[in-house]
Amino acid sequence: MTGLSSPSDSLYMALTNELPAFLSKSLLQCKSLPALPSVALRVLDIARSSRATLNDYAKAIEHDPALTMRLVALANSAYYARASTSIHTCIEAMQRLGLNATLAVVLGFTLFQYAQGGTYRNRTWQRAITSALVARYLAEQLCPDKSGSTFTLALLQDIGILALQAAYPEEAEALYADTALSHGEITLSEQAYFGCDHTLVGAWLAAKWGMPDHTVMTIRQSHESFLLNDKALLCIRLSGPIADAWLSRSPASQLAAVLYQLKTVSYISALKIDEVLHNVQQQTDILANALNMTTSVEVDSMTLLAEAHQLLFQHTLMLSSQLEDQKQALASLRYPDENQKEHSRWDASLKGQRSGLIRRPKNK
């Protein structure tokens, strides 16, 4: 494995010590851990700049002839080359493919080259791509200058799964093959089996590659709460749950759950989820064809969002009703005598009104 720099010793050692001893030993001895070539690390470095141009990316990619040929071949494929002339250079390929597909190919060329080897590997690949797209379009609304870096960071947030699959192939087959498990349930299963989850393993792997500390810690914290002020990190934390909803068998209910959690984020009101989902719908179709993924999920973004909002409204009404019931029950437990007297007065008043016997008290 080659890289641009040696790992940050302090952070790498801290993450190594945080791993269970048996797991760090297995990972260090594994000869098939995912690796990033120097060109991919350079591309990740460029993506962190808001001023990066396609020419900057092309110059970096051209240092890897095999990767350049792959991009050119993809750009000349039937899917992209309809009624177009053949292209021969990296910059031309990038202009035709677009930055999203280019970044996905560059990183996926090494990390996900065996994604078609099993259903769970393909699912990991699909989640990574969908999360990256979601993160980019969220960032374009909340922090436009960081849209490129959020794409790549979201794409890398689950690389720990790839490392665990490499070190424990048989266990991974059993752990990740159950398509009924949610991503959260998978994380809990990892903690039960390995003593940690894939975010720690992914951060450790990124540190081993020599990636910047900020990138390493973003991967480590990628699955935590939405309650934070860092908008770029929020985009990444949101990207996974929204991708899970998009890829699930019941997308509306899962998306409604995400929208409910977002109520706690003060500045999220300006976010246009409909635009995010619309763009994801368009881009996933393109990337599915470009990257040889299985058939993309058939989801209508407008229908999905409408159903999610309806479920959220129903859920909110139910919670309000339950809260009112709990308040009344709590009041009756705290003040049983006063409540009984109040009910007695109310009953007497009602009876008096019916019989016409209630008289107004005389002024003293």
Report yes or no on 339 lying in a domain: yes
188 band by pLDDT with thresholds 50, 70 and 90: very high
Encode pLDDT of 38-65 as tens digits: 888 888 889 888 888 999 999 999 999 9
Range 264-273 contact pairs with CB under 8 angstroms and sequence separation of 24 or more: 264/226, 264/227, 265/226, 265/227, 265/234, 267/142, 267/231, 270/141, 271/138, 271/141, 271/142, 272/141, 273/305
C-alpha of 63 from chain center: 31
Q: What are phi and psi of 280, to 5 degrees?
A: -60, -40
Q: Which of 194-203, 246-255, 305-314, 352-361 has the lowest mean pLDDT?
A: 352-361
Q: Which amino acid is at 216?
A: V
Q: Which of 28-42, 320-334, 344-358 has the lowest mean pLDDT?
A: 344-358
Q: How many helices (H) and strands (E) does the chain have?
A: 19, 0
Structure tokens that stand for 29 in this block: 């001895």
Encode pLDDT of 77-130 as tens digits: 766 666 568 888 999 989 888 888 888 888 877 676 644 456 677 788 888 888
Integer distance in angstroms from the first to the last C-alpha of the chain? 96
167 band by pLDDT with thresholds 50, 70 and 90: very high
Encode pLDDT of 244-276 as tens digits: 888 887 777 777 877 777 776 666 666 788 888
Percent of the chain with pLDDT over 70: 70
Entry pTM: 0.76
Report yes or no on 328 lying in a domain: yes
Report yes or no on 248 lying in a domain: no
Question: Is pLDDT of 237 > 90?
Answer: yes
> Residue 361: what pLDDT?
47
- Confirm if 106 and 39 have CB atoms less than 8 A apart: yes
Report yes or no on 291 lying in a domain: no
| Nearest alpha carbon to residue 142 among 240, 274, 215, 234 | 234
Tokens 């973003």 sit on residue: 218
The boundaries of the domain holding residue 346 are 318-355
Total count of domains within the chain: 1
**CA-CA distance, 257 to 251, in Å (whole number)?**
10
| Nearest alpha carbon to residue 153 among 99, 90, 107 | 107
Report yes or no on 341 lying in a domain: yes
| Nearest alpha carbon to residue 228 among 237, 220, 219 | 237
Report yes or no on 304 lying in a domain: no
Report yes or no on 337 lying in a domain: yes
**CA-CA distance, 288 to 311, in Å (whole number)?**
29
341 band by pLDDT with thresholds 50, 70 and 90: low
- Confirm if 97 and 145 have CB atoms less than 8 A apart: no
Give the gyration radius of the chain's Cα atoms: 27
Structure tokens that stand for 346 in this block: 């109310």
Report yes or no on 351 lying in a domain: yes
